[in-house]
A and B are shown apart, each in its own frame.
Chain A
Amino acid sequence: MQRSFSFRLNGKSVELRTSPDRMLLWVLRSDLGQTGTKHSCGEGLCGACTVLVDNEPVLSCQYPVKNADGKEILTIEGLAKNGNLHPLQTSFMTHNALQCGFCTPGMILAAFSLLQNNPHPTEKEIAVALEGNLCRCGSYNRIIAAIQDAARMMKGEDS
């Protein structure tokens, strides 16, 4: 019952043959060796496995690989361009908006998606958008500050 799939992962074409109902998280981590995307709850309850599919955030632990066929996938490994970190990444660093770092890839991708739709979110809008992303270390306030700062940096780049 295996099928062939093709999609673009971080700008590169990927073709693979596997069972269509397997979740994207495991295909990314196990078949493709892209381990930046994390498994934490496995039931779509924590946001650690967040990736972008055609620019929409999805919980990859709940997203069958067949749904990704022909689409564009962005994971944390694809956010920096030519070795230049994305403003969200540098802002998370300068705000120390992480501790153990296990939820960080999902946080950054959820934030990336938010800023695409809302380039200047308020504190409350960020909190609402990221409510499904859990950080056990408790870095929430710093993450909000980092996202707002990244939004300002991105605005500066645009103008």
Chain B
Amino acid sequence: MRDDEYILYNTGENSFPGALDRREFLKLMGGGIVILFTVGDSLWLQRRRREYPEDFNAYLRIGEDGRVSCLSGKIEMGQGIHTSLAQMLAEELDVALDAVDMIMGDTAVCVWDAGTFGSRSTKYFGPPLRKAAAEARAILIQLASEHLKTPSGGLGTKNGTVFVKKNPRKSVPYAELTKGKKITRHLEAKPPIKHHSKHTISGKATDRMDARAKVTGEAKFTADIRVPGMLHAKILRPPAHGAKLVDVDTSALEKMSGVQVVQDDGLVAVLHEHPDVAEKALGMIKATFEEPEYQVDNQTIFEHLKASAPEGRIVTEAGNLEEGKGLAAQEFEAEYHNHYVAHAPTETHTALAKIEGQNATVWASTQAPFRAQAEIARVLGFPEENVRIITPFVGCGFGGKNQGYQIVEAARIAQLCGKPVQVAWSRKEEFFYDTFRPAAVIRIHSGLDGSNRIVFWDYHNYFAGSRSSQPFYTIPHHRVLEKGGWYGGGTASAHPFGVGAWRGPGSNTNVFAIESQIDIMAEAAGMDPLAFRIKNLTDERMKRVLNAAAKQFGHSFDKAPSGKGYGVACTDYLGTYLATMAEVSVNRKTGEVRVGRVVCAQDTGEVINPEGVRMQIEGCITMGLGYCFTEEIHFKGGKILDTNFDTYLIPRFSWRPKIETVLVDNPEMPPQGCGEPAITAMGAVVANAVYDATGARLFVLPMTPSRIQSALL
């Protein structure tokens, strides 16, 4: 999926009191393909034409002090590109890693970017960054050739200097050549980037460069930004999505000193210099809302989704299903369900907006600063270039911060009250306005021939999204249908609240269903699940990650259920291949599962920071246990019943499994993404391990104790 499509589809229509009418709102937030084409000359179409620039100056600046700034429209939310992008730049430019300063997500100075999502930063921003640095280095050599009066061929670069190869003491620092100025010279023929075998910085395990700021409390997140005169806004919220404000009485606030109330077109906000005082004042407002009757809840959602789904779109197909069924000796039909899941970022959505005349500066916890810039420009009626979005460190995103309603709120309220305004959502607001990973249904009908080869595969996907749903097993007759995606689709009321991209969008649900179905067939084939997979694969890369994981796992699989509690799952996430194996034990009385050990072997192409990749795999495995066991949004229509971590349980220390990561060497392949892939196999690998331990097959995520107890009966 291209960036523009990703943005386009990454939408959810939340109830957003009085912000804008639906049409305006959808235009702003990119509400879907219909709106896109009716808007005509919209910002979306302008954005679609945007690409990474050719001019290398857009990516880097060499300061007079010799420090190098790397300018990237990407943002750092924990995934570690603050370090790995610096490694890529330092490698190609030949400067010390600690001479690189990362400047990220600032629309005034950074390279335009669609947003930080989809495990795309290294894969798609990395190559132009490398090219820019390589060209800058070549030009620095040219400049040095004039300076040192030595032909370019006799010059080398190292550690921020150009030196004469025959006389290395004769050298000139980059900073002396550029004197802090932009380099106006460019090369017609762009120099090649280094071969990985020459790397001394890229490809080496490197500690996080943002760690010192983060362990001392110096790292600034959006809520930590202070500007003179700023106020904190707390906003009146409806009890449910779809509820309408009927009456509001703010008279109780009239006598509170320092409290200001802003009302505009359904938006009611309370302002104070301290956020907790504003919150307390908000609680004194009397408001009446009219709530719609609810149609669906988390018990009935799956039937509702099947009934609400649009016509299927073929994602991929081959052969002829009827012919495939004719070849089958055994057929298998199963339906898999996955519930709504919250992003639950540690830092809630936050923004601080400062408006001076026709200029706005907005600090925001966002994964998409340039998108926010366009939105704010429209909301305020300013030219886009008059809006600057600055992205401090972001405390988790996982796709949830592709959406930036809080940014619009802060800007609107700042415009209304004439002072800088911070909006920092409470945890309850975070759960309410989250764009959840959609609940979804997968139906699979598949078959094996007499020699235990998969001969047909009929895949119906309701609302999960198509990513990772394309078969990588060798199946002569297959069809994959997508009926609604993770962005929504179908009838307008399919989802009673916003949905959107959640770390590995689509894939978590697809891999759970696909790899569970594979295990069901393996058992029917009388084979162990690893041998069955290898037998039905011709993709050598996938076999390689499976074998690498098996070697590290060290235990042999038997036909399930073996009682051992071993599970396996593998997948291809946008070009990153991985195989995960897990050991679990199940308490049959309580239905509780303990995941003791997880091994993940991943082939992500050329690796920039092995330590960073391992951290992402470990984080994916740990976070993934949440949607395996507990994470499920409880709701009645548009009313979100989970408001905090007391009912919405996320993984904690006591859950932690032993984790072993294997980086499968594949340096000739360009770097692939690694922020998301390893989370997508977690549902399947744990479900398969639970089956191997108990013989109970779970067709629903999360596998709560009661669902496991029911499956054991």
Query: Closest residue to B217 on the A side, CB-wise?
Result: A36
> Which of B41-49, B115-123, B247-255, B268-276 lies at the interface?
B268-276
Query: Closest residue to A91 on the B side, CB-wise?
Result: B215
Mask, A8-52, CB within 8 Å of B = 1, is: 000000000001001101100111011111111111011010000
Q: Which of A22, A35, A133, A134 contacts B223 (CB 8 A)?
A: A35
Bound complex: CA A76 to CA B297 (Å): 43
Say whether B426 contacts A42, CB under 8 Å: yes
- Decide: A45 near B645, CB < 8 A? Known: A98-B208, A99-B615, A102-B346: yes
Q: Which of A29, A36, A40, A138 contacts B651 (CB 8 A)?
A: A138
- Decide: A141 near B659, CB < 8 A? Known: A40-B346, A100-B395, A134-B652: yes
Q: Tell me if B295 is interfacial: C-beta within 8 Å of chain A.
A: no
Q: Tell me if B347 is interfacial: C-beta within 8 Å of chain A.
A: yes
> Which of B74-82, B379-387, B507-515, B520-528 lies at the interface?
B74-82
Say whether A100 contacts B346, CB under 8 Å: yes
Q: Which residues of A contact B346 (CB under 8 A)?
A: 38, 40, 46, 48, 100, 102-103, 134-137
Q: Tell me if B220 is interfacial: C-beta within 8 Å of chain A.
A: yes
- Decide: A35 near B224, CB < 8 A? Known: A92-B211, A100-B395, A102-B347: yes
Q: Which residues of B contact A35 (CB under 8 A)?
A: 217, 220, 223-224, 226
Task: Give the one of A41, A127, A138 with max B CB within 10 A.
Answer: A138
Bound complex: CA A134 to CA B655 (Å): 11
**Shortest Cβ distance from residue A58 to the other chain B in the assembled complex, whole angstroms:** 16
- Find residues 396-426 in chain B having any chain A CB closer than 8 Å to their own CB: 396, 398, 424, 426
Q: Which residues of A contact B650 (CB under 8 A)?
A: 134, 136
Say whether A104 contacts B656, CB under 8 Å: no
Query: Closest residue to A100 on the B side, CB-wise?
Result: B78
Say whether A36 contacts B216, CB under 8 Å: yes
Q: Tell me if B190 is interfacial: C-beta within 8 Å of chain A.
A: no
Bound complex: CA A35 to CA B276 (Å): 15
- Decide: A92 near B396, CB < 8 A? Known: A45-B645, A99-B615: no
| Interface residue count on the B side (C-beta < 8 Å) | 60
Q: Which of A93, A100, A128, A140 contacts B212 (CB 8 A)?
A: A93
Q: Tell me if A105 is interfacial: C-beta within 8 Å of chain B.
A: yes
Interface size class of A (residues with CB under 8 A): 35 or more
Q: Tell me if B485 is interfacial: C-beta within 8 Å of chain A.
A: no
Say whether B395 contacts A102, CB under 8 Å: yes
Say whether B644 contacts A77, CB under 8 Å: no
Q: Tell me if B348 is interfacial: C-beta within 8 Å of chain A.
A: yes
Mask, B613-626, CB within 8 Å of A = 1, is: 00100111111000
Query: Closest residue to B395 on the A side, CB-wise?
Result: A102
Query: Closest residue to A33 on the B side, CB-wise?
Result: B226
Q: Which of B208, B347, B396, B622 contacts A140 (CB 8 A)?
A: B622
Q: Which residues of B contact A103 (CB under 8 A)?
A: 346
Q: Tell me if A70 is interfacial: C-beta within 8 Å of chain B.
A: no
**Shortest Cβ distance from residue B545 to the other chain A in the assembled complex, whole angstroms:** 21
- Decide: A45 near B644, CB < 8 A? Known: A36-B217, A92-B211, A136-B344: yes
- Decide: A41 near B216, CB < 8 A? Known: A99-B615, A100-B77: no
Bound complex: CA A26 to CA B223 (Å): 12
Bound complex: CA A30 to CA B274 (Å): 6
Query: Closest residue to B273 on the A side, CB-wise?
Result: A30
Say whether A93 contacts B211, CB under 8 Å: yes
Say whether B215 contacts A85, CB under 8 Å: yes
Q: Tell me if B433 is interfacial: C-beta within 8 Å of chain A.
A: no
Say whether B645 contacts A41, CB under 8 Å: yes
Bound complex: CA A79 to CA B216 (Å): 8
Q: Tell me if B306 is interfacial: C-beta within 8 Å of chain A.
A: no
Say whether B653 contacts A133, CB under 8 Å: yes
Say whether A138 contacts B653, CB under 8 Å: no
Bound complex: CA A98 to CA B80 (Å): 10
Q: Which residues of A contact B393 (CB under 8 A)?
A: 100-101
Query: Closest residue to A105 on the B side, CB-wise?
Result: B217
- Find residues 54-85 in chain A having any chain B CB closer than 8 Å to their own CB: 75-77, 79-80, 85
Q: Tell me if A139 is interfacial: C-beta within 8 Å of chain B.
A: yes
Say whether A99 contacts B78, CB under 8 Å: yes
Say whether B652 contacts A131, CB under 8 Å: yes
Q: Which residues of A contact B273 (CB under 8 A)?
A: 30
Q: Tell me if A142 is interfacial: C-beta within 8 Å of chain B.
A: yes
Say whether A94 contacts B654, CB under 8 Å: no
Q: Tell me if B502 is interfacial: C-beta within 8 Å of chain A.
A: no
**Shortest Cβ distance from residue B291 to the other chain A in the assembled complex, whole angstroms:** 24
CB-based closest 4 A-B pairs: A36-B217, A138-B622, A102-B395, A100-B78
- Cβ contacts A to B, 18 pairs, < 8 Å: A23-B276, A25-B276, A30-B276, A35-B220, A41-B427, A41-B645, A45-B646, A76-B215, A85-B212, A100-B347, A102-B395, A103-B346, A137-B619, A138-B619, A138-B620, A139-B618, A142-B615, A144-B656
A-B contact sample (18 more), CB < 8 A, given A35-B224, A92-B211, A134-B645: A38-B346, A38-B395, A42-B427, A85-B212, A93-B211, A96-B611, A98-B214, A99-B78, A99-B619, A100-B395, A101-B78, A108-B215, A137-B78, A137-B346, A137-B623, A139-B618, A139-B622, A140-B653
